[in-house]
Amino acid sequence: MKRDACFQLLASLLPDDIVVSTYSSAFEWLAIRPHPLNYVAVGAMGLASSHALGLALAMPQRRIVVLDGDGSLLMNLGTLVTIAAAAPKNLIHFVSRNGSYEANGGHPIPAQGVLDFAGIARNAGYRRTESFSELSTFAAKVPTLLSAPGPTFVELYLEPGDTMPAPDYEHIHGVRARREFSKALASS
């Protein structure tokens, strides 16, 4: 699967949801679904899910979506146990699995052939976990996953080397994006 195809599908199903992302996932997501409720965890590789957990606990009436990467998740695997223990019903955690630290030059992640992120999340205590390698199967099941109580973990097996849009560092590091997010959050 291609990440952009997965994200385009998600964008059609998440019109006004809070979406937390970091690095490669963030750049692609921002290009596909520009929205003031996009929260980019700037300078926080490995912490998108931690930021999302805070939002999920603070806003239990809102669905919180995490767009994470496999390399990013490896930097903070402990967050899976923390999320499972807190058990936010409104959190769904997507991990783009392409086998590389894409934001840092595409270096391969360790143990990429044996890691089972969905299995790790399941053993940590996530309510439901799924893995997808076919877009049609993902498209058929994602509406159910989005409506089911969480925490939910979804591992997306992706082809490496997606072409990302040019990173808009000015936007993600700028004050304007933070102000837009804060204003949208306050009015949601």
Mean residue pLDDT of the chain comes to: 86
pLDDT tens track for 60-101 = 999 999 999 888 898 899 999 999 999 999 999 999 887 555
Instruction: Tell me the domain boundaries of the chain.
Output: 3-187
pLDDT tens track for 12-44 = 999 889 999 886 777 788 888 888 898 887 666
DSSP state of 104: G
User: How far apart, in whole angstroms, are the C-alpha atoms of residue 148 and residue 55?
Assistant: 18
Residue 35 tokens read as: 């929205």
User: How far apart, in whole angstroms, are the C-alpha atoms of residue 146 and residue 126?
Assistant: 14
pTM: 0.85
| Distances in whole angstroms, Cα of residue 169 to Cα of each of 34, 48, 65 | 14, 17, 22
Q: Answer yes or no: is pLDDT of 171 > 70.
A: no
Class of domain 3-187: alpha beta
